[in-house]
């Protein structure tokens, strides 16, 4: 069942990508989100009486699309119900991981499209500025109006991971940092040029005020340039930063979910991992790379790359780790 659902997802993704290739008109910008409005936030989130929050930034889930007037858009329109639906499933996946014991806030934003990541670095950065403008505005609104002074976790995957890195670089202050339990900029490299006093790599399972990050593949060659060059990574099975292998006994569960967030399949003690010391790649064993490869996406994700399923692979280990870091934070009397 899980494999069939995964293959169906990849087939739909490939079909949409194929239909969108070749469009390169001048960009059309969707309306700027207003984060004072409930419609700009994931509807099933919010305050639920928990002691800490999770602010989550969803990965890339939208493709280039055309307006009714034929303009090509490289950004999500958060008012488009189909596009909102495309991000809601991944948001629910993350909610199950990061916020089963937390209040959960996830903004819709004008994320750049999948095709944008196939462009040059200059184009990616120019387009990402629009996405980050929204994230910055959403985070400021969250802190001023929704957070209520509670401790919080920052988390994001892929494009969302890049946004978390930028929040730590640009928006963090000493006062906010004292309330930050940890940051999870997953699926995007933290490179040497990404500097900030608040970008401190995790070195154990229970340190706080740190970032947790990894990029996974079956071998270092499976990590594309877009995801390479990280200066720090941690192994989510044993929470070590050296090349000590993580064993199947330490693998708490890979989980695949439906669009509504319900669990479709779960399997523990399947994966083993190690960090490659030269590239900081999280090398994953225990699955067949061909099961998670789609030729239509090879320009971004070569065979052996596990980017689109790494949250699924380490669902239960990440879930437990958020609990561990939150417990350590509160035990320290922060």
Question: What mean pLDDT is predicted for residues 85-97?
Answer: 97
Give the pTM.
Answer: 0.91
pLDDT tens readout for residues 162-220: 999 999 999 999 999 999 999 999 999 999 999 999 999 999 999 999 999 999 999 99
- pLDDT greater than 50 at residue 22: no
98-118: pLDDT as tens digits: 999 999 999 999 999 999 999
Alpha carbons 144 and 167: distance in angstroms, whole number: 15
Q: Tell which wins on pLDDT, 296 or 326.
A: 326
| Neighbour tally for 193: CB within 10 Å | 8
The Cα–Cα gap between 54 and 189 comes to 21
Instruction: Read off the pLDDT of residues 114-134 as tens digits, 9 standing for 90 and up.
Output: 999 999 999 999 999 999 999
pLDDT at 187: 97
Q: Whose CA is closest to 240, among 216, 209, 204, 208? A: 204
Round the average pLDDT of the chain to a whole number and report it: 92
Averaged pLDDT for residues 40-45: 97
Percent of the chain predicted with pLDDT > 90 = 87
Report residue 142 as tokens. 């969250």
């Amino acid at each position: 069942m899980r494999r069939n659902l995964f293959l169906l997802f990849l087939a739909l993704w490939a079909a949409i990508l194929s239909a969108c290739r070749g469009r390169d008109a001048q960009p059309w910008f969707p309306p700027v989100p207003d984060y004072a409005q409930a419609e700009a936030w994931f509807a099933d989130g919010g305050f639920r009486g928990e002691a800490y929050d999770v602010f989550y930034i969803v990965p890339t889930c939208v493709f280039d699309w055309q307006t009714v007037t034929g303009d090509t858009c490289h950004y999500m329109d958060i008012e488009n119900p189909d596009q909102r639906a495309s991000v809601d499933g991944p948001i629910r996946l993350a909610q199950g991981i990061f916020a089963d014991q937390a209040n959960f806030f996830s903004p819709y934003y004008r994320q750049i499209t999948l095709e944008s990541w196939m462009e040059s670095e200059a184009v990616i950065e120019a387009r990402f500025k629009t996405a980050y403008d929204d994230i910055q505005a959403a985070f400021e609104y969250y802190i001023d109006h929704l957070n209520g002074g509670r401790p919080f976790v920052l988390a994001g995957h892929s494009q969302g991971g890049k946004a978390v890195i930028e929040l730590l670089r640009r928006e963090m202050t000493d006062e906010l940092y004292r309330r930050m339990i940890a940051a999870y900029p997953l699926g995007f490299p933290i490179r040497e040029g990404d500097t900030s006093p608040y970008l401190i790599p995790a070195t154990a399972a229970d340190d706080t005020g740190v970032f947790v990050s990894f990029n996974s593949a079956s071998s270092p060659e499976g990590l594309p340039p877009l995801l390479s060059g990280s200066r720090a990574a941690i192994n989510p099975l044993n929470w070590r930063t050296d090349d000590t292998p993580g064993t199947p006994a330490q693998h708490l569960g890979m989980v695949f979910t439906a669009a509504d967030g319900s669990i479709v399949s779960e399997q523990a003690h399947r994966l083993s991992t190690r960090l490659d010391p030269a590239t900081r790649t999280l090398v994953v064993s225990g699955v067949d790379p061909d099961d998670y490869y789609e030729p239509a996406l090879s320009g971004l994700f070569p065979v052996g790359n596990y980017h689109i399923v790494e949250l699924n692979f380490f669902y239960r280990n990440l879930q437990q780790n958020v609990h561990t870091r939150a417990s350590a934070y509160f035990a320290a009397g922060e």
